[in-house]
Chain A
């Protein structure tokens, strides 16, 4: 994984309700320090002189309590514990509620080359937003060759070999009113262990497509902002492949195929491509079928059940008519 530094934390692009409102008030040299742990430490114990199990590699969060304790230390002129704290390789310090530490504290931080950041959020709010942002950064992720579209609210990842018609299929889906998230390379993240979130690697490139013969086109300009989305959970994979005479395809749809990506199992539909087969309509139907399954209606299973009941009644009828003893 690429290294995540304090500067990256300051530059994180977050939406309004997730913003961290961080600014650096001292120790600019420390902006290059790496953050290796997504968790947060409250350094109360350390300030009072207890150093065992000090999680120095974590982000140190100074709330109201820590700040007023620092004030007391500074008044007493007793900065030994602060000096000791900065003798560890602390990743960075954050002061919540717009608290500003005393001059001595900032000097010691500056000298040790550790960044001191400040925010106007409360400790609880900051901790929550930091956790959310960092768990996203540290989530296992990988880039997959495919197109991610949203069809009737279901996030569908279309995969398949180069030239099989993924982009063309996606283009027709967009034309029919569905949405594009990313074309060609989709970045997938395992969020909180059970959600597979897909987005474009870079928002500036995400809503473009490459169509053979046309070149690169901008989907949001051509089809309007209603036809794009920034991110979406992958709920189904449609794998397009060249029609293979030898291969046996699923004819009933009763088997539940899945593909595992980053440890998460996603339902998989394999669709053979052949001239004359309208793939977008098949994908639309697969999406609606997936929604039905989520609602508890399983067409293939229901059909099978009906056939069995019918056969049974037929059996019973035959038995009844062939058994002359009854009369």
Chain B
């Protein structure tokens, strides 16, 4: 399992559009992807799940993936967070 911690850098937080982007990226991989905030853990391939996290500016999320393409999956997601969801 690969785990990586990221910080949300766009002001608006994880609203619908970033969530859709995350899900789109996550769905390109076979690995099982989870995103955690505090004690909440949701499936990285579900839009409603990610929006439910209610992650706002500067909150820290833990991305974890398990499966044969876990490394690539986490790297792609981290890149997405780093690029502030192209906002």
Contact = CB atoms under 8 A, between A and B. Distances in A.
B27 interface: yes
A111 B49 CA distance: 44
A203 to B, nearest CB: 11
A201 B46 contact: no
Contact of B39 (A1, A163, A185, A216): A1
Interface string A1-24: 110000000000000000000000
Contact of A202 (B39, B42, B54): B54
Contacts of B39: 1-2
Contact of B48 (A1, A2, A142, A210): A210
A252 B45 CA distance: 34
Nearest to B16: A216
Interface in A176-219: 183-185, 200-202, 205, 208-210, 216
B52 interface: yes
A163 B52 CA distance: 19
Nearest to B46: A184
Interface string B33-45: 0000011111101
B47 interface: yes
Contact of A205 (B43, B45, B46, B52): B52
A145 B43 contact: yes
A200 B46 contact: no
Contact of A185 (B27, B38, B48): B48
A205 B27 contact: no
B6 to A, nearest CB: 19
Nearest to B54: A202
A86 B47 CA distance: 48
Interface string B52-68: 10100000000000000
A143 interface: yes
B47 A202 contact: no
Contacts of A202: 52, 54
B51 interface: yes
Contacts of B54: 201-202
A36 interface: no
Which of the listed residues A1, A184, A205, A208 has the most CB atoms from chain B within 10 Å of its own CB? A184
B52 A162 contact: no
Nearest to A141: B39
A162 B43 contact: yes
A205 B41 contact: no
Interface string B7-46: 0000000001000000000010000000000111111011
B40 to A, nearest CB: 5
B47 A185 contact: no
B40 A143 contact: yes
Given A145-B43, A184-B47, A185-B46, A200 B52 contact: yes
A162 B43 CA distance: 9
A185 B49 CA distance: 5
A324 B77 CA distance: 83
A209 B48 contact: yes
Contacts of A210: 46-48
Contacts of B27: 162-163
Interface of A: 1-2, 142-143, 145, 162-163, 183-185, 200-202, 205, 208-210, 216
Given A162-B45, A210-B48, 13 more contacts: A2-B38, A142-B41, A145-B42, A145-B49, A163-B45, A183-B48, A185-B43, A185-B48, A185-B52, A201-B52, A208-B48, A209-B48, A216-B47
14 contacts: A143-B49, A145-B43, A162-B27, A162-B45, A163-B27, A163-B45, A183-B48, A184-B47, A184-B48, A184-B49, A202-B54, A205-B51, A210-B46, A210-B48
